[in-house]
Amino acid sequence: MPDVHSLVNEFVIKLKKRKIEGSKATAKLTVELLRSFISQQRLPHSNQAAALIDAVKAVGEKLIAANPVELAVGNVVRRVLHIIREEDLSLATAAVGGLSLAAESDDEDDIDRDDHPVLSATAVAAAARNALRPPSLQTLLEDIPHSAAAPHTSSSGGDSEGKSKSADKNSVTRKLKHNVIEAVNELIQEISTCHEQIAEQAVEHIHQNEVILTLGSSRTVMEFLCAAKEKKRSFRVFVAEGAPRYQGHALAKELAARGLQTTVITDSAVFAMISRVNMVIVRAHAVMANGGVIAPVGLNMVALAAQRHAVPFVVLAGVHKLCPLYPHNPEVLLNELKSPSELLDFGEFSDCLDFGSGTGSPLLHVVNPVFDYVPPNLVSLFITDTGGHNPSYVYRLIADYYSADDLVVRRKSAS
Amino acid sequence: MDPRRVPRTVIDPKVRQVGFFAPAGPPDPTSSSPPVLGISPSGNSLSPVMIPPPRHLSTELSRNIPIAAPRAADSSIHVGSYNPSEFLSPSATTDFSEDPLSPRLGRRGSSGNFTSSLPSGGFEMAVANQNNGVKLPTDVRDGGANMEVPKEKKPTGEKPLKEKTTKAERRAIQEAQRAAKAAAKGEGNKTSAAAGVNSANMGKPVKPVPQKKDNSLVAASEKKGGDRQPDKDRKKDVPHPRMQFDDENRVEKAKKRSVVKQTEARNRVELFRHLPQYEHGTRLSDLESKFFELDSVHPAVYKVGLRYLAGDISGGNARCIAMLQAFQESIKDYSTPPEKSLIRDLTTKINGYVSYLIECRPLSISMGNAIRFLKTSIAHLPLNLSETEAKTSLISDIDRFISEKIILADKVIVKHAVTKIRDGDVLLTYGSSSAVEMLLLHAHELGKQFRVVIVDSRPKLEGQKLLRRLVGKGISCTYTHINAVSYVMHEVTRVFLGASSVLSNGTVYSRVGTACVAMVAHQFHVPVLICCEAYKFHERVQLDSICSNELGMKSYLWIGLFVPKMAAYLASNFCGCYYILLQAILMRFQEFLVEWKSIFWMVGPVVRIYDP
């Protein structure tokens, strides 16, 4: 136990000091931390799920508070909470089903068959869940009753089903934790392979002789472009350097090394170049529930320019960047200001910075925000590891990945 | 004189078009610019700039009181900045904005005072043409007085000239016939036309043709009352295509003549093949070493060119003023070689200087306009002036241009714009524009309470210098980079931007990034105000920033802009990348599009070692 707490504290400190960068790294670390937290958590015999949820929420709250701007932390916490709920539900379903089924058959593999008799019991739970989320596209297409389909939509659905079958035999107590950890492992897997899955879709979007513009640096974007390159597509890439950190340089170097024809442009030249560009492909920091994007600084400008020239603005985002919150004044509230030293040389401007000392307010302010908010109407397409989605479809994804009870992690656990 | 031919060969086929310039005369025989347009061969290529004809008042002044002008002009600024400027300013600006934008409408408000100068002008041209005829021999025997001009002219000059002469001749004859017909119809002054024909036949193709035509057409139009004016006018208005650097033949020719041997970038960016792409660094030291052995370029001009190259002088106004002052110096030291006319010879010299400056850095539109102006005033020097008088008159003309068109214009702009600033405003500006800076300082002096947001971007980070100056004056500033512009735009109430030029389709040509700022401001419903002196207006049209632009030194990307560690990083990592520094953006007033000065770099698969 102390072990986990020290881990949590260490992570919190890292988050506070902004030692962890990039939503993917953060998401991965968070979910790993939560896994070890869950595995070390002792659960009471009754009402395990609620206890586990409370414990995870408490940790989650701490983590979120450590860096409220890094939305990936909150997303992952919510995902884990959702997983716990799902597992709990499927266990309950299996338990009920197991009881009624016991006399009928011992056939453990036949999932479909044991669903139908249970309908009376499961239907209640399923109905409750369906109220929370409307039927997804998959459920519409597959000819399965909602009651059966609902548990499947969770990412852990397939696996947990098999496990839940054995639930009647083993002790339910250990089962829940085990199942949850299994599912969390899957989540980790999903996060770490998300850009491969995104990159797989590259060929569908990049054709021959295309001119693509991107800003700053991102592994996802790089792999996406390289995937298209590997498929023998030849196209050109313009990389805006992405002030003030100029990560675009690194991206350009990497792309050039992979044999892509790459041109670096200054951020100010984006507007000039965009008229010659076929597509803008960028990464996101977080995707909000309304389809808006919290993106690296400068992308709002790029998106506006793209809109003006009717150039598709494509955002690559792993599912862990999907945030169930709605943005309110995101430019300010979901932003972060970095050190002015990235913009100005302190040595050079030290006297200027001191000018205001007499009046109490300095004459010189330096603004160095990290993120931009790109409203949904500027985004043409999201490419996630589950496929391409329109900004207006984001709410559906969110309903698939999060449970409505968890949307406000902080306030609930605080009260 | 080497460089002088650069533009001419570049615009080879344009000789014809030079011919078309002539009809510019007809719509209004009193207008002063057309002959000059015709005369300056390189003027066509520098930038198809149409200088707004000098204000009538001022030209008149210069004619009448040539010597007293410099002081008078100086003092007139001060006077002008009080009361008269109230009256002058609107008229000055509207005058300008209308003229270049709608030259084909003819200049309506032209005063009669030019008519008086016209005959003499025609005469002086005829004389010039005769001189010109004599000139060839002079060239050949290479008078000692003027070493630079003839010497290098010979090697490449002769052959291409021949060809053109024939073409020009044909045209000249045609025109002459037409003119003669016209003259026959009424009672024309055939003499001028005849003189034109004579001169046209005598070598020196480019110059005589337009003049002759001018005369003939002037004559013609006087008779006909301008039947075919609209057509001709329109043709005249078409600006010359600029040098396209993807045309190998021309680039080769241009290279042979250039003083500044620029190293071409090894990895040229495909998209910008039509623009010159050079390596930075190699030329400067080379040029500096040549400083004492220059022949064709006056030291003052040479120095200015070097400073352009080194980036010491930047900004439309500063560059323009530096250039004009250098020209003043060279005019002071100028003496007409024997058996040459000052008008012709000086124009040639100026052309040479100009093409040298172009090699150092492409001219801005404002500079093109200033050069137009200078050539006009040279061409309009009364013949009876002695050399010293002519020189003083020119020098005072230049002084007046600087003070009226630039300094006074700025004052007027400031005066107007300052009324748009209210207490509590948050003003945003991008980069560093001299007009905007003056405006901010003036508003501060007036005691207005406002805050300034300075948006900056690489490669030049000019905003930092502006920031330092403003903070030094006690103005409260916020500094940020261009990516964060949408973050700061919330609080901004006005955006003030500078411009390199305003084109006739309403687009603004300005430093790269301006369009981004304007676009974001537009999105946030913040008014955007552009401060641009009227002498920067230009009749050209442009839709995007790629067709015509200036590419900066790629090495600007790292030299002096990064802290050393970053520079080292770049140097080691980006060896041999393609870099391009596009220098401008153009934008529509309402839709905001097109830029000047942006950096492009291309990182190609080829890797080469860059040694800073």
Neighbours of A54 (CB within 10 A): 13
Highest mean pLDDT among B337-346, B423-432, B453-462, B494-503: B423-432
Comparing B265 with B245, the larger pLDDT belongs to B245
Q: What is the distance between the alpha carbons of residues A73 and A61, in angstroms, rounded to a whole number? A: 10
Checking if the pLDDT of B609 tops 70, the result is no
What residue of A is the nearest CA neighbor of B269?
A263
Q: pLDDT at position A294, please?
A: 92
CA B366 to chain centre: 5
Average of per-residue pLDDT across B367-379: 90
Q: With contact defined as beta carbons under 8 Å apart, do A273 and B600 qualify?
A: yes
Highest mean pLDDT among A54-68, B286-300, B542-556: A54-68
**Chain B contacts of A252, Cβ < 8 Å?**
577, 601, 603
Q: pLDDT at position B280, please?
A: 52
What residue of B is the nearest CA neighbor of A263?
B602
Q: Given pLDDT bands bounded at 50, 70 and 90, which one contains residue A111?
A: very low
Q: What is the distance between the alpha carbons of residues A77 and A412, in angstroms, rounded to a whole number? A: 14
Q: With contact defined as beta carbons under 8 Å apart, do A331 and B487 qualify?
A: yes
Q: pLDDT at position A16, please?
A: 86
B587, B594, B601 ranked by CB distance to A263: nearest: B601
A50-64, A337-351, B116-130: the lowest-pLDDT one: B116-130
The residue extents of the domains of chain A are 4-192, 195-335+370-406
Checking if the pLDDT of A150 tops 80, the result is no
Window B:148-187, CB contacts with A under 8 Å: none
Whose CA is closest to B458, among B319, B573, B588, B558? B558
Cβ A275–B546 below 8 Å, yes or no? Answer: yes
Q: Which residues pair with B598 in a beta bridge?
A: B582
A262, A271, A343 ranked by CB distance to B585: nearest: A271
Whose CA is closest to A290, among A375, A408, A372? A375
What residue of A is the nearest CA neighbor of B457?
A268
Q: What is the distance between the alpha carbons of residues A186 and A200, in angstroms, rounded to a whole number? A: 19
Interface probe for B, chosen from A234, A264, A266, A282 (most Cβ of B below 10 Å), is A266
Checking if the pLDDT of B168 tops 80, the result is no
Please give the mean pLDDT across all residues of chain B: 62
Q: What is the distance between the alpha carbons of residues B379 and B31, in angstroms, rounded to a whole number? A: 13
Comparing A34 with B132, the larger pLDDT belongs to A34
**Chain B contacts of A276, Cβ < 8 Å?**
271, 546
Checking if the pLDDT of B373 tops 80, the result is yes
Highest mean pLDDT among A123-127, A339-343, B18-22, B324-328: B324-328
Checking if the pLDDT of B199 tops 50, the result is no
**Chain A contacts of B509, Cβ < 8 Å?**
none
**Chain B contacts of A264, Cβ < 8 Å?**
557, 577, 579, 599-603
B483, B566, B604 ranked by CB distance to A267: nearest: B483
Q: Which residues pair with B529 in a beta bridge?
A: B496
**Chain A contacts of B580, Cβ < 8 Å?**
263, 265
Cβ B477–A365 below 8 Å, yes or no? Answer: yes
Neighbours of B200 (CB within 10 A): 29
Whose CA is closest to A265, among B49, B580, B271? B580
Neighbours of B83 (CB within 10 A): 9
A42-56, B165-179, B182-196, B256-270: the lowest-pLDDT one: B182-196
Helix (H) or strand (E) holding A368: none
Could you identify the residue written with the tokens 């302010």? A365
Q: pLDDT at position B578, please?
A: 33
Contact of B491 with chain A, judged by CB distance below 8 Å, is answered with: no
Checking if the pLDDT of A381 tops 90, the result is yes
By the 10 Å C-beta count (0-12 exposed, 13-18 middle, 19+ buried), B386 is classed as exposed
Three-state DSSP class for A97? helix
Q: pLDDT at position A17, please?
A: 85
In angstroms, what CA-CA distances link B137 with A284, B209, B358?
73, 20, 30
Q: pLDDT at position A287, please?
A: 92
Q: pLDDT at position A306, please?
A: 93
What residue of A is the nearest CA neighbor of B272?
A273
Checking if the pLDDT of B436 tops 80, the result is yes
User: Cα angle vertex B560, ends B557, B566, to 5°?
Assistant: 70
Cβ B603–A262 below 8 Å, yes or no? Answer: yes
- How high is the ipTM of this complex? 0.80
Cβ A253–B476 below 8 Å, yes or no? Answer: no
CATH, range A195-335+370-406: 3.40.50.10470
What residue of B is the nearest CA neighbor of A333?
B487
A262, A305, A368 ranked by CB distance to B480: nearest: A368
**Chain A contacts of B467, Cβ < 8 Å?**
349, 352, 364
In angstroms, what CA-CA distances link B78 with B81, B83, B322, B398, B571?
5, 10, 22, 18, 51
Q: How many Cβ pairs within 8 Å bridge chains A and B?
A: 203
Checking if the pLDDT of B83 tops 70, the result is no
pLDDT digits (tens, 9 = 90+) for A262-311: 888 888 888 888 888 999 999 999 999 999 999 999 999 999 999 988 99
Beta carbons within 8 Å of B366's beta carbon, 6+ residues apart: B316, B317, B319, B320, B500, B501, B533, B535, B536
**What is the per-residue burial (b if ≥16 Cβ within 10 Å, else e) of A208-245?**
eebbbbbbbbbbbbbbbbbbbbeeebebbbbbbbbbbb
Contact of B449 with chain A, judged by CB distance below 8 Å, is answered with: no
Checking if the pLDDT of B91 tops 90, the result is no
pLDDT digits (tens, 9 = 90+) for A200-224: 999 889 988 899 999 988 889 999 9
A172-176, A382-386, B144-148, B402-406: the lowest-pLDDT one: B144-148
Q: Which residues pair with B599 in a beta bridge?
A: B581
What residue of B is the nearest CA neighbor of A309?
B593
**Chain B contacts of A335, Cβ < 8 Å?**
487
